[in-house]
Amino acid sequence: MIRTDVLVIGAGPAGSTAAKHAALGGADVILVDKKSEIGAPKRCAEGVSMGGLESLGIKPNPQWITRKIEGVRLVSPNGTSVWLTSDRVELPEAGYILERKVFDKHMAMDAARAGSKIMIKTLARSLERKDDDGYVVNLETMGEEFQIKARIIIAADGPESRVARWAGLKTAAKPKDMESAAQFEMVGVEMEDNHCIEFYFGSVAPGGYAWIFPKGDDIANVGLGVLSTKTNKSAYEHLLEFVEDCPATKDAQPVELNIGGDPVGGMPKKLVTDGLMVVGDAAGQVNPLTGGGIISGMTGGMLAGKVAAEAIKDDDTSKGRLREYEKLSYDSIGKEIDKYLKVKDYMLSLSDKELDSIAEAFKDVEFEKISTTELVKKLVKVSPRALLKLGKLF
């Protein structure tokens, strides 16, 4: 049996970051992933904020950046656009479109350079708590079964996570909180500005939104997320309709299809139990409004990795000790998630007609020249419900 201080299950951005920080803190770390190629296939539109990477101490690298993003276009159901570009609004930070297949590998390489051992094509099948200090995990690689005894497990096994549930944590997202997403990477996309990301709201994607994220002059991730509680059609069917109807994509061709779930209901109450912490999508560390979970998942991974290393040093892997991670997560990621849940709730309550009126009211606004109070007044004028739904945020 292999022994280690920390076993991280899942080498997505959250798991690799957890492994890196646990190793930097001095722990013996093994990082396993069932995939034969870390990062592939991607299930992601690949957008991140520059500030988010900075907060994790990661320098942008041209090897995994496909496009720098300079603005945002919001499109209402009747096609009215609100542009958030630097000439109209002060953008505190730009963003990037990544190449996840390269980015995820680089994050795993950083974990290895920090001292983690990486095992690819290695599936965690089950775990048992044998004594008061750790778990025995049953794994399989290339048809061979083997075991790892770890004092701390970090469950980073993504949106369909099972590892934390094996240890008794209630982390499964409810159907109403699991967005189904479908996306094509397409060529021949004709965007109005291919340095801006685009969001399409309303019945085009019930319970979510559609997006076009440019990766090159005529290449883009074109996708959408829907809630099954809001539509009888699949995300894929909605995507086919969107691609056919949208002027930017009607003549484009797909080169890749990605289907996946995105947990958008926030974090479960408990993120730790004795000897185990859960991070990333597995822990609902996803912005419920945008569905973005790369930066928040990596933040969760960083916090869990640091706490794991300290707990090993303190020789205390109990849930009481690991709760430090839970607290740090709620203080940083959780508060933001709660705020966005309210905004999402408001957005979902709007009809196509209301979305069109809001877009019409804001389409010519010079956001830079108008105060927050004036903005709120303008919003409440076209949508009085905004005050009721978002009152506490204003």
Ligand X SMILES: Cc1cc2nc3c(=O)[nH]c(=O)nc-3n(C[C@H](O)[C@H](O)[C@H](O)COP(=O)(O)OP(=O)(O)OC[C@H]3O[C@@H](n4cnc5c(N)ncnc54)[C@H](O)[C@@H]3O)c2cc1C
Residues at the contact surface with ligand X, assessed by CB under 6 A: 9-15, 32-35, 43-48, 123-124, 156-159, 181, 183, 223, 258, 260, 262, 280-282, 286, 291-294, 297
Q: Tell the smallest beta-carbon distance from residue 320 to ligand X (Å).
A: 25
Looking at the chain, list the stretches that DSSP marks H as alpha helix, in order from N- to C-terminal side.
13-24, 50-55, 100-113, 163-166, 235-245, 294-314, 319-329, 335-348, 352-362, 372-382, 385-390
Rounded to whole angstroms, how far apart are CA atoms 247 and 76?
Answer: 14
Q: What count of other Cβ atoms lies within 10 Å of the Cβ of residue 41?
A: 14
The residue (of 15 and 206) whose beta carbon lies closer to ligand X is: 15
Of 260, 259, 267, 258, the closest CA to residue 172 belongs to 267
Of 264, 265, 272, 263, the closest CA to residue 327 belongs to 272
Phi, psi of 17 (to 5 degrees): -70, -40
Rounded to whole angstroms, how far apart are CA atoms 18 and 306?
Answer: 8
Of 144, 122, 145, 126, the closest CA to residue 135 belongs to 126
Rounded to whole angstroms, how far apart are CA atoms 264 and 344?
Answer: 10
Q: Tell the smallest beta-carbon distance from residue 91 to ligand X (Å).
A: 17
Rounded to whole angstroms, how far apart are CA atoms 362 and 345?
Answer: 20
Q: Tell the smallest beta-carbon distance from residue 159 to ligand X (Å).
A: 6
The residue (of 65 and 390) whose beta carbon lies closer to ligand X is: 65
The residue (of 48 and 58) whose beta carbon lies closer to ligand X is: 48
The residue (of 177 and 356) whose beta carbon lies closer to ligand X is: 177
Asked if residue 206 lies in contact with residue 79, where contact means CB atoms within 8 angstroms, the answer is no
The residue (of 35 and 195) whose beta carbon lies closer to ligand X is: 35
Q: Tell the smallest beta-carbon distance from residue 64 to ligand X (Å).
A: 14
Q: Tell the smallest beta-carbon distance from residue 223 to ligand X (Å).
A: 5
Rounded to whole angstroms, how far apart are CA atoms 141 and 131?
Answer: 25
Phi, psi of 269 (to 5 degrees): -60, -45
- Tokens coding 212: 């076009």
Asked if residue 177 lies in contact with residue 170, where contact means CB atoms within 8 angstroms, the answer is no
The residue (of 286 and 311) whose beta carbon lies closer to ligand X is: 286
The residue (of 12 and 25) whose beta carbon lies closer to ligand X is: 12
Q: Tell the smallest beta-carbon distance from residue 325 to ligand X (Å).
A: 15
The residue (of 202 and 293) whose beta carbon lies closer to ligand X is: 293
Rounded to whole angstroms, how far apart are CA atoms 204 and 355?
Answer: 12
Asked if residue 154 lies in contact with residue 18, where contact means CB atoms within 8 angstroms, the answer is yes
Q: Tell the smallest beta-carbon distance from residue 194 to ligand X (Å).
A: 16
Q: Tell the smallest beta-carbon distance from residue 114 to ligand X (Å).
A: 17
